[in-house]
Structure 1
Amino acid sequence: MHDLSACELLQHYRRGSLSPVEVARATIAHIERWEPRLHAFYRFDPEAALAQARASEQRWQRGEALALDGVPLTLKENIATAGCAMPLGTAALADAAPALADAPPAARLREAGAVLLGKTTMPDYGMLSSGLSSLHAAARNPWDLSKGPGGSSAGAAAAAAAGYGPLHVGTDIGGSLRLPASWCGIFTLKPSLGRIPIQPPYAGRVAGPMTRTVADAALMMGPLSRPDWRDGMSLPAQDIAWQSAPLDLRGLRIGLWTDAGWGLPVDPEVQGAIEAAARLLEQAGAIVEPLAPFSTRAMIDGLDRFWRMRSWLDISALAPERRARVLPYIRQWVAAGEHCSAAELFQGYSQMAAFRDSAIAACQAFDFVISPVAPVPAFEAELASPLDDPARPFEHIAFTVPFNFSEQPAASINCGCTKAGLPIGLQIIGKRHDDLGVLQLSAAFEALRGPQQPWPTP
């Protein structure tokens, strides 16, 4: 039962061939087999999940079922849920007080009847593309337990690939949905800024669905995209048919972007998988043309300085004994922020606009753009990043970070694997606010790519 999609589970519930309680029990048992080695959960609450499943079962019996009633769900640690502390993956905040209210994504999915199994892990402050944390055991990649799942939505991606139920939610400010989705072989949509209300909102930050199938992500977008006044950056309410049919690819103009202009070189196996995906789209009638690099080393270096300063302000405000508990890699990375001048800070902040303008201009000639998500496959679980060097922390996010600040929707969908069996993600980027188009193109590619390798088992 844990391998069934949300769409399949809802069909079973409608027919009465499965119940939410049966599914919750089966999923909990499956998690208990995986979790001692995977370390995907920050907080796992089977009893609360079973209570929610029993309430869901009663709604189905009364004919009052909600949109996602009885479907298992996990939420990333930094998405507040009432009564649960939110330590942000760091031992420095291990004694954080419980949250007083659900953040918008949690509230919307509860209102839709989803059964919350628990909260998934993240690295310190969400500032790593890794499952390494000073508070949690290092999260592992279910395809190869010696590798990490990526991050910062580390536990969410591992949980989705391992079958901790079908629905998961993570967050992204530079690639934190797409990178772990790529490295764990699942699907995610980083939506346009404001499409899914979030708290707290700020430039570049979004929440998004993490699932095994495009259809399940589309199913989640209905509740997740409902407005919430607490996010002053959220988009106006729109009646979007999220579960629309896949796109007809004939005549679509698609840009193929395989040289980011900076960062790690693209691994040959990754390059081969992306080029093979482009050929599939061409064979289906799309017009695929190369897209030249459009972001620069100056952009990411400036943004790095800004993020270091911003994070240094947070960490330096801690009492010394708390500061010492932060992951050493993060402490080394933020240290340079102490000496950042006002001019450097302003110049760094301005690179958000530079990324936005260059990405929007580069994509203008195309209906969609495709690229690698990550230049390299999954790396060792004990490392903070592929280079594990706080002086060069962002060499692996060159393909993802521009679209956080251009506010464009961007998905990761599996398009192959290495000889060692590690997944490779294809990034699909749409024009600003065309989240539906990205889902429809993703669904079309999902049908083209053919059968995938079986999901990993405990």
Structure 2
Amino acid sequence: MSLADLTATELLIRFRERSLSPVEVIEDVLTRVDELEPHLRATYALDPAAARIAARESEARWRDGTAGALDGVPVTIKENIATRGTPVPQGTAATELIPATEDAPAAARLREAGAVIFSKTTMPEYGMLSSGVSTFHHLTRNPWDVSKTAGGSSAGAAAAAAAGYGPIHLGTDIGGSIRLPAGWCGLVGLKPTHGRIAVGNPYPGRAIGPLTRTAADAALALSVMSGYDPRDHTSYPPAPDNAVRTLESALRPGLRVALLLDAGFGLPVDPEVSAAVSAVAALLEKEGAIVEPIAPIITREMLDGLDRFWRIRSATDIAALPEERRAKVLPQIRDWVATAGELTGSDVFHGYTQMGAMAAAVTKVFTSYDVILSPVAPITAFPAELAYPTDDPAKPFEHIAFTVPYNMSAHPATTFNAGWSPIGLPIGAQIAVPHHQDMTALALAERLDSALPAHRPWPTSF
């Protein structure tokens, strides 16, 4: 196995016993990036020189006994999470390229823990697409099939994780932007309880979380990044130890699991997706869980209301740009916001209220169940060149009905690979749990992943 494919937990063991150096690892990772980037286009602001310096500094800390919790582990960070000295283009050519003056809270926590931040990763236009389509970045592609999207908006993070650009990749999620690409790339992707990882520029629904190949690595990254930061008024101190569930207690006889196979609207669920998630449900029943199908959680009115609110928000931001920059915005985004002027104040206010309606609907389910199991998306990865799976700016959110409710309700939700389509594309399953039980979700994902048929070898050539 290449050093680039070792997990963070494996790397830390090897660093601790002095059988491996961070310098060796970063060289292997950079070689992998050199080999695959012409096909994947996952990175932004790649900095090999700074990475090598950071790896040598980490090697010295391991030698003198001052290593941090992630010391020497290669990490990438999505480009909309600020890192000092690097511009934050937000996936669009319409943004002025002004270097960030400081690390965002999550990036700062990773750096303080000794992680080797060697690159940012790509995202689509303003993060409002579930693909890698961008007027600023090259088109990001899926390592499992480069004709397909890696998903979005954490497009580069997912492609980098699946391709073995090191073990930990940081993304953001406002409607599924960690979980959708994680599902389409065969990864663990965690959208944590809102506030657990400080965002720095909080907004309703927005969260930061890891994309990794294993649940253990996601849990490690979460533990490092958790905690209050004064730049984010929605953040809070780390959870006490008794809030962290062990693997043994997470999957227990009598666990009440709600099985959601039909979102109620949007794109229909592909039969192979339904079959893969149903197989997970059967495995849970075999382990003693009580699995019950449930009716759709949210409604068409809720998603359409949210669409109207997001549209007026984006239209307002774009309208504030100078004309020459406004013209650079992706045509599909301009088409989407073009109808915002038809909305009344009542339309927008009603749209805003639907975030609360979604939150209430999800919370009601958790009064009867411990876990909600569902697909991540109703379909497998779609063609890379499409901005949306519908290819229709008037219908951009037909694929997020399984993911967006937990952004609005602030509940943690994670993905893991549940199976494969007939043409070999990953199929993601999603586990949502009550607030602050992030580690429970990851423990369940780890247990189920180990019990499902073996993963296929990770893609390293095309």
TM-score of the alignment, normalized to the shorter chain, above 0.5: yes
- 1:183-208 deviations in Å (ceiling 9; x for gaps): 00000111011111112011110000
- 1:44-92 deviations in Å (ceiling 9; x for gaps): 1111111100000000011111100000000000000010000100000
Give the match's secondary structure for 2:137: coil
Alpha-carbon separation, structure 2, partners of 1:254 and 1:389: 35
Q: In the alignment, which of 272, 275, 279 is matched to residue 275 of structure 2?
A: 272
Say whether 1:338 aligns with 2:334: no
- Counterpart for residue 172 of structure 1: 173
Say whether 1:297 aligns with 2:285: no
Say whether 1:84 aligns with 2:86: yes
Give the C-alpha shift of residue 388 in structure 1: 1.1
Q: TM-score scaled to structure 2, two decimals?
A: 0.97
- Counterpart for residue 4 of structure 2: 2
- Counterpart for residue 121 of structure 2: 120
Give the C-alpha shift of residue 249 in structure 1: 2.7
- Counterpart for residue 370 of structure 2: 367
Give the match's secondary structure for 2:49: helix
- 1:362-416 deviations in Å (ceiling 9; x for gaps): 2321110100000000000000111110111100001000110111100011000
Give the C-alpha shift of residue 223 in structure 1: 1.3
Q: TM-score scaled to structure 1, two decimals?
A: 0.98
Indicate if the aligned counterparts of 2:247 and 2:444 stay in contact, CA closer than 8 A. Answer: no
Alpha-carbon separation, structure 2, partners of 1:184 and 1:298: 30
- Counterpart for residue 25 of structure 2: 23
Say whether 1:49 aligns with 2:51: yes
5+ residue gaps, structure 1, are none
Alpha-carbon separation, structure 1, partners of 2:200 and 2:424: 37
What aligned pairs does 1:33-44 form with structure 2 within 5 A after superposition? 33-44=35-46
Q: Which amino acid in 1 is paired with 2:197?
A: I
Indicate if the aligned counterparts of 1:406 and 1:432 stay in contact, CA closer than 8 A. Answer: no
Indicate if the aligned counterparts of 2:247 and 2:440 stay in contact, CA closer than 8 A. Answer: no
Q: Which amino acid in 1 is paired with 2:67?
A: A
- 1:9-29 deviations in Å (ceiling 9; x for gaps): 011111111100000001100
Indicate if the aligned counterparts of 2:150 and 2:384 stay in contact, CA closer than 8 A. Answer: yes
Alpha-carbon separation, structure 1, partners of 2:227 and 2:168: 17
Give the C-alpha shift of residue 225 in structure 1: 0.5
Alpha-carbon separation, structure 1, partners of 2:60 and 2:142: 36
What aligned pairs does 1:201-350 form with structure 2 within 5 A after superposition? 201-240=202-241, 244-246=246-248, 247-350=250-353
Indicate if the aligned counterparts of 1:249 and 1:281 stay in contact, CA closer than 8 A. Answer: no
- Counterpart for residue 422 of structure 1: 425
Give the match's secondary structure for 2:358: helix
Indicate if the aligned counterparts of 2:227 and 2:236 stay in contact, CA closer than 8 A. Answer: no
Give the match's secondary structure for 2:4: coil
Q: Which amino acid in 1 is paired with 2:287?
A: A
Structure 1: which 4+ aligned runs deviate by more than 2 Å?
235-249
Indicate if the aligned counterparts of 2:245 and 2:440 stay in contact, CA closer than 8 A. Answer: no
Give the C-alpha shift of residue 339 in structure 1: 2.6
Q: Which amino acid in 2 is paired with 1:284?
A: E
Which range moved further: 221-230 or 68-77? 221-230
Give percent identity, aligned residues only: 56
Alpha-carbon separation, structure 2, partners of 1:433 and 1:291: 23
Give the C-alpha shift of residue 321 in structure 1: 1.1
Give the match's secondary structure for 2:169: strand
Give the C-alpha shift of residue 132 in structure 1: 0.5
Give the C-alpha shift of residue 149 in structure 1: 0.3
Indicate if the aligned counterparts of 1:408 and 1:430 stay in contact, CA closer than 8 A. Answer: yes
Give the match's secondary structure for 2:147: coil
Give the match's secondary structure for 1:189: strand
Give the C-alpha shift of residue 315 in structure 1: 0.4
5+ residue gaps, structure 2, are none
Q: In the alignment, which of 408, 413, 431 is matched to residue 411 of structure 2?
A: 408
* RMSD after superposition: 1.1
